[in-house]
Structure 1
């Protein structure tokens, strides 16, 4: 067990009784030498981790949802000090993919007993992502989800409702130019989804998990171009019944460039979003992320 554990938590988690209790339970497992470090999104997380490591920290734990975990991972790529995940979010795809329990005390014990393993993560225009990045209708779903969460709270049913509302407003597909490892193609689609999580693909019954294990991106291009076909796709996705070749086209690449017809587009990555100038350059990280796996977990990408 590392002697000095540093727990990175969103400063807002202290206001949430569920998250606060979860972190307190984990800290009891981590022991008296562990300490919590509050992070405010938008501030320099890399500098915060620099100080934590210089102060003797030999394991950094990201306590939060996929957004907090992604931000911490981006600051930890290339470091010798390992990172672990204490899942506190709504979906926790990355943590679940690694094999961590969603019970905070059980996850903390898995961290304490775990072992380090190096992985390469996805990056788009320099931004690290662990699960997926996408263009098209999904960033709009995230925007609607934020509105629904503010009104009804962070529940999975609220997330599903935001999908339905957004698809009912769909108007026209994107026009994209793709360059996959030097092979160029033109696409018209409601969404392009670039995946780095085999767990998330399996969760939704989508193909491509084998590409992730081969350190490639699984690139899913939705075939739906109308509101009706989008609704049908959403229904099949919800049941894990989407069909390759009918609902989506599966492509693979180690590097990918996506150019949109418009000068700017909204990019979604691990539940976050921002508007950026095209093109969008997807690459694997040159340096690895040293991640803690549960002791009984077989190493994989």
Structure 2
């Protein structure tokens, strides 16, 4: 069972996230009005300094850290609360907000604040790429290509439709690849169009994987094949629901897998390109104390 949320917190918002600056003052007002004592509150204008701000808050001993931003901001922050008593909470201020969707956290500021005030604290899993923790989903294939090339400001000004339009344009540059998955007692090679390394159910704001963040497993989901149109078909089926796309996928579920590709490929981790194959993908079970809806 979950426990009651703390009433004292530090609020750190990515002021460069799509909704960051507009949401910061509103979040402060709503949190204070709901009885949350904000011992510190800051809108970080330089996203590269968000990491340091979260670390400093955790080291200060504040019982709860609230991070406002997109999936990338959340993913870089969770490393600092692993195995800590600090409770982690989020305000979803990004484009896709996949991790918030996975947890069932409302995407509006008022709803997210209600979760912080009235939700419960539970221990949840994190994914790992080698020694780097991540919150929701990593990917090999077109997702890193999009993340590396998306024009500055596109997501902020056009949101999810602009991001999806850019994704369609990048499809012409994309090439299928060979993936080898190894685990304790097994090994398999297959032609791949996309690989999702999932701790959570959502990727790009769409539910793609049947999983949750409390089952103690990592899911390797591979869109198989060598024809790019099959990837579009798989995406289309996934919009209906994750079960609909099963015929286009191969899934591996477990604690740890070694992933190799025929040539080294970039890996986007919650939307940021932070690694290259080969890597070990694994789960860190019950890694952090997280505020989720009751």
Q: Where on the TM-score scale, by shorter chain, does this alignment land: which range?
A: 0.7 to 0.9
Other-structure match for 1:272: 272
How far apart are 1:152 and its partner, in Å? 7.7
Q: Which moved more, 1:223-232 or 1:127-136?
A: 223-232
Sort the Cα spacing of 1:24 and 1:287 in 2 relative to 1 into closer, same or farther, 3 A.
Answer: closer
Instruction: Supply the distance in 2 between the matched residues of 1:207 and 1:151 (Cα, whole angstroms).
Output: 24
Give the ranges of 4+ consecutive aligned residues of structure 1 lying more than 6 Å apart after TM superposition. Answer: none
After TM superposition, list the pairs within 5 Å mapping 1:70-81 onto structure 2. 70-81=75-86
**2:72 counterpart of 1:67:** yes
Q: How many residues align?
A: 287
Give the match's secondary structure for 2:47.
Answer: coil
Other-structure match for 1:209: 211
Instruction: Supply the distance in 2 between the matched residues of 1:206 and 1:213 (Cα, whole angstroms).
Output: 17
How far apart are 1:239 and its partner, in Å? 3.7
Other-structure match for 1:291: 290
Give the match's secondary structure for 1:209.
Answer: coil
Instruction: Supply the distance in 2 between the matched residues of 1:53 and 1:193 (Cα, whole angstroms).
Output: 30
**2:54 counterpart of 1:57:** no
Q: Is the 8 A contact 1:23 1:63 kept in 2?
A: no
Match of 2:190 among 179, 187, 199: 187
Per-residue CA deviation, residues 129-180 of structure 1 (Å, 9 max, x unaligned), is 2211111222113334x2285388241111221221122333x311222113
Stretches of structure 2 lacking an aligned partner (at least 5 in a row): none
Give the match's secondary structure for 1:189.
Answer: strand
Match of 2:163 among 126, 142, 159: 159
How far apart are 1:287 and its partner, in Å? 6.5
Sort the Cα spacing of 1:231 and 1:149 in 2 relative to 1 into closer, same or farther, 3 A.
Answer: farther
Give the match's secondary structure for 2:145.
Answer: helix
Match of 2:130 among 112, 125, 133: 125
Per-residue CA deviation, residues 52-97 of structure 1 (Å, 9 max, x unaligned), is 2454511101111111111111211111111111111122121222
Stretches of structure 1 lacking an aligned partner (at least 5 in a row): 297-301
TM-score in terms of structure 1 length:
0.83
Instruction: Supply the distance in 2 between the matched residues of 1:24 and 1:260 (Cα, whole angstroms).
Output: 46
Cα RMSD after superposing both structures:
2.9
**2:226 counterpart of 1:228:** no
Give the match's secondary structure for 1:102.
Answer: coil
Q: Which has the higher strand share?
A: 2
**2:114 counterpart of 1:109:** yes
Instruction: Supply the distance in 2 between the matched residues of 1:104 and 1:231 (Cα, whole angstroms).
Output: 33
Per-residue CA deviation, residues 223-271 of structure 1 (Å, 9 max, x unaligned), is 2311232332233233437745531112212101111222x32111111
Other-structure match for 2:13: 9
